[in-house]
Amino acid sequence: MGNVFDRYAKYYDLLYMDKNYAEECDFLEEVFRRYQNRKPKKILDLGCGTGNHLTLLAQRGYEMVGIDASEPMIEIAKNKIQKMNLNARLYNLDIRNFSLNQKFDAAICMFATVDYLIENRDLQKSFDNIRRHLRLKGLFVFDFWYGPAVLTIKPSVRVKTLEKNGLKVIRIVIPELNSLKHTVTSNYHIISMERNNIIDEIKESHIVRFFFPQEIRHLLEENSFQLVELWEFPKLNKLPTEKTWNAVAIAKAI
């Protein structure tokens, strides 16, 4: 995990400006309504990135705390919080070993952040740590790459081009699938241009893990969670299939 997003951070919001964060926050609120007896007040956003889920939920009245291992991402999120004057706190901390000395009603871990925990020991540390920060029956909601679909569809080369305020960013992703280790290495090449001149270029590799249903269930149960539901993301009442690249786990602290 660590600093993999540090250079990537300044282009993050541009590259994902077409992502429907509002719809995903609607989904999260529906999860809270359906699976908790009362509306959560304090929510922990794990791997909050530049704060796009966090700011929307804060605007909707939740007391938000976000952590992320990338300092540049946290700085961008802090600037948003300050400009919007929102009730939220942010910390540059690692999901595997953070300690906030407080309990939360719910924890979210969005945009497949758990996929960056590729080692079993890191998953165990993280899930145990998250459980210690949740109140009894608090919800833990996270989305992830769904293994059956990854192996069926298989990752492919992707090219994305976005422009805003005279800045053009081209992102090329060349994936490498390792079915034995349940990982995909995404080799990123980002080219930033102004007036057809290259002003910045980034090459980096992100290794992510994909997961299978019984693996998720075992991991949760080992760390005092009950897996409540596993759905296609971001939909309720639709089971994931071999065509579902992203799934969501809804777990309860026990």
Q: Name the residue ranges covered by the structural domains of the chain.
A: 9-145+211-253, 149-208
| Tokens found for residue 125 | 């540390």
Task: Report how far apart, in Å, the C-alpha atoms of 253 and of each of 229, 230, 250 are.
Answer: 13, 16, 10
The per-residue pLDDT for range 119-130, each reduced to its tens digit, is: 999 999 999 999
The residues, any chain, with a CB within 8 Å of residue 172's CB and separated by 6 or more, are: 157, 158, 159, 188, 189, 190, 191
Which residues partner with 231 through β-bridges? Answer: 248
**Average of per-residue pLDDT values in the chain:** 96
Whether 142 and 108 have beta carbons less than 8 Å apart is answered as: yes
CATH topology of domain 149-208: N-terminal domain of TfIIb (2.20.25)
Digitized pLDDT (tens) for each residue of the chain, 254 residues in all? 445 678 889 999 999 999 999 999 999 999 999 999 999 999 999 999 999 999 999 999 999 999 999 999 999 999 999 999 998 999 999 999 999 999 999 999 999 999 999 999 999 999 999 999 999 999 999 999 999 999 999 999 999 999 999 999 999 999 999 999 999 999 999 999 999 999 999 999 999 999 999 999 999 999 999 999 999 999 999 999 999 999 999 999 99
DSSP state of 101: S
Check residue 197 and give its pLDDT: 96
Cα dihedral 44, 113, 144, 119, rounded to 10, equals -110
Letter string b/e over residues 24-37, b meaning 16 or more CB atoms within 10 A of that residue's CB: bbebbeebbeebee
| Tokens found for residue 209 | 């893990």
CATH 3.40.50.150 fits 9-145+211-253, yes or no: yes
| Tokens found for residue 184 | 């995909």
Classify 45 in phi/psi space as left (phi over 0), alpha (psi -120 to 50) or beta. Answer: beta
The per-residue pLDDT for range 71-99, each reduced to its tens digit, is: 999 999 999 999 999 989 999 999 999 99
